[in-house]
Structure 1
Amino acid sequence: MDITIIGAGAIGGTIGAHMARAGHGVLLCDADADHVAAINADGLHIEGPVEDFTVRVDAVTPEELPSRVGPGGVGAAVVAVKSLHTASAARVLAEVLAPDGYVLTTQNGLTADTLSEVVGAERVVSSFINVGADYLEPGRILQGNIAAFRIGELAGGAITPRVGLLADAMPYALPTENVLGYLWGKEAYGAMLWAGAVSDLTIADSLSLPEYRDLMIAVAQEAIDQAPVQVESFDGFVPDDLPGSLDRLAAFNRRSAKARSGIWRDLMVRKRKTEVDEVHKDIQGPVFDRIVAMVHDVEEGRRTCERANLDELAAFVRDLPTPVSADAGR
């Protein structure tokens, strides 16, 4: 299939590289002009323990995209930008999307509403992806593991032809009738990653150390309690067994070459604003609210990422009116 991918970083670049290698017609679009130039000059390189390959694929900046689109417009697109850039990506697509075209979001969080406001809800397909990847430098992406990838219609229900087409074309993808349930599972797992990201621990260590178990369970449960659908299991995460999930997710992450979350990399490596405010629209609660405040402190230079932050969060959870026990969520 032919597809245009808006956002050619860790996830968009990984998906696009695999699709291009498989013979699909891929056009990458990214705001990083150096990344675009490197891809066009030398190809896009995927490296790490899963595979190591370079693929030739066309790349453009958003300003260049309209001139590269055929007269019929873009039939299928992927939005893989950080969630805080969803609105700008939607505006780019609105100019080039074909009348019968559609958009797949592979982003963190529940971003489909923002896309729907611009292109129409009937043209948006959603997905949940847990593949771990990092943007390393222009033209280079680390793929740390193979993990769950589910694609489905926002409204749920039967697998539609376009969902089947996307799932067949994309690496590791499977169709689902409950994509929203997977997304809320990712919100719960992601809430634990947000907590760990304000420390200097690896993902696996933040999930496995006993002194932080109650914290991790509490923040994950906050997300699960707000889910409007049945939350799905994936990669060791089971919503009604959060203690066991911590053990399984820690083991899952120890097997990955991606030791730290993209959140931590945004804060400490790339020194840029995170998606925390977008995620905060989906998850509210005393524990996650406290994590959001800490992330803002790091973004604005009042804190750094260190284990003392996790100690502070753990103490906060212990002092809640209804303490969390290590058996919660079982």
Structure 2
Amino acid sequence: MRICIVGAGAIGGFLGARLALAGQDVTLIARGPHLQAIRDHGLKLIEIDGRERVVKTRATSDFEEAGPQDVVIVALKAGSLPAIAPRLRALYHAETSVVTAQNGFPWWYFHKLPGPYENRRVELVDPGGVIEANIEPRRVIGIIVYPAADIDTPGVIRHVEGERFSLGELDGEKTERVRILREAFEAAGMKAKVTPRIRWETWVKLWGNLAFNPISALTRSTLEEICRYPLTRQLARTMMQEAQTVAERLGIDFGIKIEQRIDGAEKVGAHKTSMLQDIERGRPTEVDAMVGAVAELGRWMDIPTPSIDAVYASVKLLEQRTTL
């Protein structure tokens, strides 16, 4: 199977290395010193147990050079997807599947979803509809990413934790293409399941991220610090309650209580969220997809989200001041 990883950074590099080591025909799309290091020395993956494995595979910044693929895994930040979407067409043949592995509320959420919002677009995650215009919904396989990884140095990916992924068709069907992709992930040593409830799982992950990530970025605090300090714990609780009201209007039943979700985050320990890491490194955050999108949904439904709105505005200003 020909698989292209668009954005061979931390998670993209981890996926690309694992899949290539398992014998898949992998092409990496990268740029700058990271791309040059991969070309010169191969892509090195440092596993959790310290093992170092190097894979030599095609790497380029040219989508035309990469050519048509069977599966395209887009592992860029959510905010980068609109700009890159038109270039993805060079990677398609008639049956190419596209897996968009971003944090936050996915641009495809309302496609194939019967109800009052069917096929409606969330402007903050797909401004002007450019993503939908260049990734036909029929190509999309949903994915939830749970592992964490870092780029140690250009060309070197460090696997930090986790190997679990969830995959799912937007209509919940267990198709042949999603079965084949699951088997490829599993052959590469990852834990993958096919879920008929990809939207529910999206909300379960987003539910915590929309609170903990921005609070972490604003306060420069770890998960356990946020959860143990009464005022930030209460803020997270309030934001999650607002989000729960929005999600329930869409038919989502989380199945667990907010306190259980917060307790679970606390147990992760002294972990810096991805949004905090982005702020520290002067990079754009995924606050639009993680936080702003839920506020936008609230406005659709006339559901007030005052805490989410305030935290979103604060992170947007912080991002403007710190982005290089």
Does the alignment pair 1:267 with 2:279? Answer: yes
Give distance in 2, aligned partners of 1:231 and 1:128: 18
How far the C-alpha of 1:89 sits from its partner, in A, is 2.8
**Partner residue, 1:317:** none
Partners of 2:153 and 2:253 lie apart in 1 by 35
Aligned counterparts, 1:18-167, within 5 A: 18-30=18-30, 32-47=31-46, 49-62=48-61, 64-69=62-67, 73-113=68-108, 114=126, 115-146=131-162, 148-155=164-171, 157-167=172-182
Q: Secondary structure at the match of 1:247?
A: helix
TM-score between both structures, scaled by the size of structure 2: 0.81
* 1:45 to partner: Cα distance: 2.3
Q: C-alpha root-mean-square deviation of aligned residues, in Å?
A: 2.2
Question: Which whole-Å CA distance do the structure 2 matches of 1:244 and 1:163 have between them?
Answer: 32
Return the match for 2:259 from 228, 240, 243: 243
Query: What corresponds to 1:206 in structure 2?
Result: 226
| CA pair 201-111 structure 1, distance change in 2 beyond 3 A | same
Write the letter of the residue equivalent to 1:243.
E
Counterparts of residues 245-324 of structure 1 (less than 5 Å): 245-253=261-269, 259-269=271-281, 271-284=282-295, 285-301=305-321
Change in CA separation of 1:93 and 1:174 when aligned onto 2, cut-off 3 Å: same
Deviations 1:53-112 (A, max 9, x none): 2322435343x231232xxx2121101100011123321211220111110111112334
Distance, in Å, in 2 between the alignment partners of 1:178 and 1:50 is 33
Asked whether the equivalents of residues 47 and 140 of structure 1 are also in contact (C-alpha less than 8 Å), the reply is yes
Moved more, 183-192 or 44-53: 44-53
- 2:228 pairs with 1:217: no
Decide whether the 8 Å contact of 1:86 with 1:111 is kept in 2. Answer: no
Number of residue pairs the alignment of both structures matches: 286
- Unaligned segments of structure 1, at least 5 residues: 233-238, 304-330
**Distance (Å, rounded) in 1 between the aligned partners of 2:2 and 2:8:** 16
For residue 70 of structure 2, give the secondary structure of its aligned residue in structure 1.
strand
Give percent identity, aligned residues only. Answer: 27
| Per-residue deviation, residues 120-159 of structure 1 (Å, max 9, x unmatched) | 111111111121222333112232211542110122x231
Matched with 2:199 is 180
Question: Distance between the aligned counterparts of 1:37 and 1:302, measured in 2?
Answer: 27
The answer to whether the 8 A contact 1:8-1:28 is kept is yes
Q: Distance in 1 between matches of 2:269 and 2:60?
A: 33
In the other structure, the counterpart of 1:195 is 215
Superimposed CA distance per residue, residues 292-313 of structure 1 (whole angstroms, 9 cap, x where no aligned partner): 222122223389xxxxxxxxxx
In structure 1, what is the Cα distance between the partners aligned to 2:223 and 2:58? 32
Structure 1 residues 135 and 302 mapped into 2: Cα distance closer, same or farther (>3 Å)?
closer
User: Structure 1 counterpart of 2:316, which letter?
Assistant: H
Q: Secondary structure at the match of 1:74?
A: coil
Partner amino acid for 1:230? I
Question: d(CA) in 1 for partners of 2:146 and 2:289?
Answer: 18
TM-score, reference length from structure 1 = 0.79
Structure 2: which 5+ residue stretches go unaligned?
Answer: 109-125, 296-304
